[in-house]
Amino acid sequence: MSRIITVSREFGSGGRELGRRIAETLHIAYYDREIIAELSKRTGLMEETVEHSMERNPVLLFPIDNGVTFRLPTGGLLRQQGKSFAEQCKIIRALAEKSDCVIVGRCADYILADQKPYCIFTYSDMESKIRRCRLKGQEGRELTDHGLKHRIQAINKGRAEYYNFFTG
C-alpha cells in the first residue's frame, strides 16, 4: 500500500514547511512547486500565470463592465482553466502512482480521493500567519501588518474559491 500524504493549507500557516519535514522524515518524495513547473511546461503558460490562476476562482478572472449583462463565456479563459485543471490532475495522479509522496496544495486531496491519501489541513491564527510571513520573507515584506493581514485573507479566499470551483 502506497503512502500518499496531501497537505492543504491556509497561506502563512506553515503547511509547505510541514509537508517538507514529513517527506524528509519518511524519506519520500515531496511535490509542491514542481507541479506548477510541470503544468507550465505542458500548457505553455508562464509559471507565475499558473500560480496566480490557482489562487482565484476562474469565474472571477473575467472582467465585468458596468451596464453589461454578464454571462459565463463558453470558451477562452474558462476553457483554458478547465484544461489546466485537467492537466494538473494528470500530473498529480502520475506523481502519486510513481512513488510514496507528500503533495502540498493543488487540490491533491480531492484529485487523489480514490487512493485514500492521508490528508492534512494546516491553519493558524492571523497573528501567527503574519509573524511567519515576516520571518520567512513571504508576501508583503513592504506591507504594514494591517496590509499583510488583508493580503493573507485575499490569498486564502482565492484559494478556497479555486478549490470549491473545481471540487464542487
Q: Which amino acid is at 101?
A: C
- Tell me what pLDDT residue 80 has: 76
CB 81 within 8 A of CB 58: yes
C-alpha to C-alpha distance for 54 and 47, rounded to whole angstroms = 11
C-alpha to C-alpha distance for 78 and 76, rounded to whole angstroms = 6
Number of domains in the chain: 1
Show the beta-strand stretches assigned E in 92-161.
101-104, 118-122
pLDDT digits (tens, 9 = 90+) for 24-81: 999 999 999 999 999 999 989 898 888 888 777 666 544 444 444 445 555 566 677 8
Q: What backbone torsions phi and psi does residue 96 show, to the nearest 5 degrees?
A: -65, -35
pLDDT digits (tens, 9 = 90+) for 66-122: 444 445 555 566 677 888 999 999 999 999 999 999 999 999 999 999 999 999 999
The residue-averaged pLDDT of 145-162 equals 94
C-alpha to C-alpha distance for 10 and 12, rounded to whole angstroms = 6
C-alpha to C-alpha distance for 124 and 127, rounded to whole angstroms = 8
CB 26 within 8 A of CB 18: no
For 24, the domain range is: 4-167
**Residue 27 per-residue DSSP state:** T
CB 93 within 8 A of CB 4: no
For position 128, which CATH number holds?
3.40.50.300
CA angle 8, 108, 76 (to 5 degrees): 110
Torsion, Cα 24 85 50 60, to 10 degrees, reads: -130
- Tell me what pLDDT residue 45 has: 87
